[in-house]
Structure 1
Amino acid sequence: MTVEKFNLFNFSGKMKVLHLSWIAFFITFVVWFNHAPMLQAIAASLGLSAAEVKTLLILNVALTIPARVIIGMLTDRFGPRIVYSLLLALCSIPCFMFALADDFTQAAIARFLLGFIGAGFVIGIRMVSEWFPANELGTAEGIYGGWGNFGSAAAAFTLPVIALLFGGDDGWRYAIALTGVLSLLFSVIYYRNVSDTPKGSTYFKPKHVGALEVTSKGDFFFLLVMKVPMYAALALLAWKLSPAGVSMLTDTMAVGIYIGLVLLYLYDVSHVWNVNKTVFKEPVAEIHRYKFRQVAVLNILYFATFGSELAVISMLPLFFAETFELTPVMAGMVASAYAFMNLMSRPGGGWLSDKFGRKPTLLILTLGLSIGYCAMAMVDSSWPLWLAVVAAMACSFFVQSGEGAVFAVVPLIKRRLTGQIAGMTGAYGNVGAVTYLTVLSFVDYSTFFMVIAATAVVGFIALLAMEEPAGHIAEVRDDGTVEMIDVNSAATAR
């Protein structure tokens, strides 16, 4: 771990890695949400119905659920440098596919595949945790996540303008294709300019690949339970695509997917057993244990925070357009105010966690999140537009600060498992997005926001069971010696 000063205007050492990582994440978000600000133009060009448009929104976040788990495992095994570079390069392909789509089916397949790029976030969490000490980690992860998340706002601001510059019915195609080019080019830049750890540091890898390690019998069963919502969200997506939804799949195909998901879950259970069966034979030494309960609480909180952000980013341009009768370009720019807060809110949440403790910060931010969405539920056409924007920005402050506070905790649970823990927690964000967007397809906007507020209350209650990270993480080097990694924030160190 390097001891150089934390200076945002420094572009060498750990700060160079932080800057290149948030830019990589920024690009993944530009690509992932390049369609959202131009949905009306895309729908008109491809002749999409309202139900098909909402299906595209769900498809866009669906594959990210398993992708984040898989990418987390690959990151822990092969290192963030090569995994991030490959992800950026490979995901430019479905981006180009979407730009060339001629009908709903082609667009849906491309959008589904593009969900994989949403897993990029997980990679940078592990990368940043390798370069920054615990007392700076919340701030560094917050900058990485917040400035990277701003990619959705940047897309909302710039892509409609780029589409207008190209002009015609195909302007949106050129704008989206341009984001694919950007992703491809930066994959090379990232690979050539970062390393997985500072010179002389050890990159700790998990003992097993294929499932998350746990350290007690109870946690084994807890892990199996916490995996169920991820498969349930994918089943929900299949139902949405069946004749009960938009009829993209036949009943037979949908049933086949349900059966496949059950079999896949059982296969997953077998992997969890193979990786963790030793905990049933002999207890894990106390020094090497961690509590999976910590992971579960963070999963629930990220369901409510990032899950709601993904859902709201996807629907907010349409919400403002319909509520205040705005043009697509104006609605996209106004809606970007929600994501704009990422620049300061997510780093702010991480900084607050570093200074005042992880749990107290999360409790306050989660409560504020619930109140913020209650305010959003009250917005209607009788409100002045500026006041509606202020409400959206205030709500987003608590949402994104909460995300920063969540990932100020994730790297402090078990270093060698950081990618997998980040992957699971991140996947819960997408489970939340699929759930909220499905709810949106059945209810009005006001009810949609109230549902999010209610789940935030559930997160607040779950948070009471979380413990403040303190002490050290024990990891074993290749030579058998043990390294003790400090996890104390500035608050717990006092």
Structure 2
Amino acid sequence: MSSEIGIKLWSFTGKMKVLHLSWMAFFITFMVWFNHAPLMAVIADSLGLSSSEIKTLLILNVALTIPARIIIGMLTDKYGPRLTFAVLLAICSLPCFMFALAQNFEQAALARFLLGFIGAGFVIGIRMVSEWFPANELGTAEGLYGGWGNFGSAAAAMSLPLITLYIGKTFGVEEAWRYAIALTGLMSLLFSFIWYANVSDTPKGATYFKPKQTGAMEVTSVGDFYLLLLMKLPMYGALALLTWKLSPQGVSLLSSNMTIIAYVALVILLIVEVWKTYQVNGHLFNEKVPEIHQYQFKQVAVLNVLYFATFGSELAVVSMLPLFFAETFSLDMVYAGMLASLYAFMNLMSRPGGGWLSDKYGRKKTLLILTAGLALGYLAMALIDSSWPLVLAVLTAMACSFFVQAGEGAVFAAVPLIKRRLTGQIAGMTGAYGNVGAVVYLTVLSMVSYQSFFLVIAATAVLGFVTLLFMQEPKGAITEVNEDGTVELIQVK
């Protein structure tokens, strides 16, 4: 850990420099990831997209992030956040430029699908911040990282329509969106070099603990091995759901033969992943892991479910809220986009607030209160219709947003306290569940009314509250083994 004591927001040295550069990198990934949402009406007119094609782009945008967060989590644990984030920012600028140059739905769909990979950047910073901050500051630090970085989607919603209008005076509104999109890709490319030149994986003299094996997450009991396999199924289910949505039964982006190939590929991938998981953890069936080295995977499973409801709903709502406000209150899309950005605007304080509350009052208690508020918030959102005053509708969305994003902050206040050397993989799996939630919610949205959509999210929040009752408050210390065989204790409370 850095020797600097406390969180000094205006400092740009030591651990605070790492925190600021981490949220900036995350901020840029979210600007790129959601650069299409506030411009969707203009893009749809430019490319001649149907309503069904628009919703397909929204789903494609979050699809690849499910496996990407798992993969990036493993790469982060193995190669370190410094290199992993730099490469991700550079490579993902390419599909951003592809989207800016798209001439039809198929090209736009491929670019948005590939851009889902940049949504995995969040996982990298979680591990980076956990290396630099002690347990009593970690919730607040992770909350600041997540909240300020997550604000990238709100920044895109507020700035890109204005940039498009400004550029439109020179190049025409029909083509101006392309320059606005490309600008975010350029930011990503340039920051990859800034990031790599200015950070290190750990403070000087600290050890960067790596997994004993790569290819699958380590667990420490036979029961946890089966629970890990069980928790993989919803991720494959979400990808199968996406395949169905793209099939001839959905929007016909895939042919019948391609759909069958996609389903078979998912089954093969699942079998391979089960085998890799057994290769890494098969020794558990013959020998027991010493208690000092054990961790409870049920902690991860509970956080997965909560992030499904919190971040999953945020991704879905950020994608659809401009259209919801525009259609419900007959608003201009630019104005609707600005109002909808207030939902994501809450990230600046809500997510750090959730982390701070976790540091001060405990992880489990904070999550219980915030999850209950989440359910009530979406229940209120389901009641919004054109008879409501617009101001009240926006305030309701912002109040709901507080519980959503504070809940996200509280989830990731707990993630780094489970097993240090697996933090990237745990963050990857929990983060992937957020995207599973988004795919499920956006698929539900394509089939039901806005009101039913909000009610479904409220119901899953109630499910999250129930699973929380099985979570245990982190306590004591994480045991890790140095390369020389000595044991190091990392305090979690």
Please indicate the TM-score interval, normalised by the length of the shorter structure. over 0.9
Q: Deviations for 1:323-380, whole angstroms, at most 9, x for unmatched residues? A: 1111111011000010000000000000000000000000000000000000000111
Q: 2:212 aligns with which of 182, 188, 207?
A: 207
Q: Deviations for 1:367-407, whole angstroms, at most 9, x for unmatched residues? A: 00000000000111111111111000000000000000000
Determine the structure 2 residue equivalent to 1:468: 473
Q: 2:261 aligns with which of 256, 270, 281?
A: 256
The whole-number CA distance in structure 1 between the counterparts of 2:290 and 2:107 is: 52
1:295 and 2:295 matched: no
1:360 and 2:365 matched: yes
Q: Deviations for 1:404-440, whole angstroms, at most 9, x for unmatched residues? A: 0000000000000000000000000000000000000
1:2 is aligned with what amino acid?
A: S
- What secondary structure sits across from 1:170 in the alignment? helix
The whole-number CA distance in structure 2 between the counterparts of 1:286 and 1:269 is: 25
Question: Residues 10-409 of structure 1: matches in 2 within 5 Å?
Answer: 10-167=11-168, 168=172, 169-409=174-414
The whole-number CA distance in structure 1 between the counterparts of 2:162 and 2:479 is: 51
2:444 is aligned with what amino acid?
A: V
Any unmatched runs of 5+ in structure 1?
489-494
2:189 is aligned with what amino acid?
A: L
1:4 is aligned with what amino acid?
A: E
1:23 is aligned with what amino acid?
A: M
- What secondary structure sits across from 1:205 in the alignment? coil
The whole-number CA distance in structure 2 between the counterparts of 1:145 and 1:256 is: 37
Q: Deviations for 1:41-73, whole angstroms, at most 9, x for unmatched residues? A: 000100000000000000000000000000000
The whole-number CA distance in structure 2 between the counterparts of 1:161 and 1:9 is: 29
The whole-number CA distance in structure 2 between the counterparts of 1:163 and 1:436 is: 29
2:485 is aligned with what amino acid?
A: G
The whole-number CA distance in structure 1 between the counterparts of 2:182 and 2:329 is: 30
Give every structure 1 segment of 4 or more consecutive aligned residues whose post-TM-superposition deviation is greater than 2 Å. Answer: none
- What secondary structure sits across from 1:473 in the alignment? strand
- What secondary structure sits across from 1:145 in the alignment? helix
The whole-number CA distance in structure 2 between the counterparts of 1:375 and 1:314 is: 19
By how many angstroms is 1:253 displaced? 1.0
The whole-number CA distance in structure 2 between the counterparts of 1:420 and 1:256 is: 28
2:183 is aligned with what amino acid?
A: L
Any unmatched runs of 5+ in structure 2?
none
Could you state the TM-score of these two structures normalised by the residue count of structure 1?
Answer: 0.98
Could you state the TM-score of these two structures normalised by the residue count of structure 2?
Answer: 0.99
Query: What is the count of residue pairs matched by the alignment?
Result: 488
Determine the structure 2 residue equivalent to 1:438: 443
The whole-number CA distance in structure 1 between the counterparts of 2:300 and 2:373 is: 22
By how many angstroms is 1:85 displaced? 0.5
2:74 is aligned with what amino acid?
A: M
Determine the structure 1 residue equivalent to 2:3: 3
- What secondary structure sits across from 2:413 in the alignment? coil
The whole-number CA distance in structure 2 between the counterparts of 1:486 and 1:426 is: 24
**Mean CA deviation greater in 249-258 or 352-361:** 249-258
CA RMSD of aligned residues (A): 0.4
By how many angstroms is 1:3 displaced? 2.9
The whole-number CA distance in structure 2 between the counterparts of 1:3 and 1:319 is: 48
The whole-number CA distance in structure 2 between the counterparts of 1:89 and 1:392 is: 35
The whole-number CA distance in structure 2 between the counterparts of 1:78 and 1:336 is: 35
1:19 is aligned with what amino acid?
A: H
The whole-number CA distance in structure 1 between the counterparts of 2:484 and 2:72 is: 27
1:52 is aligned with what amino acid?
A: E
- What secondary structure sits across from 1:475 in the alignment? strand
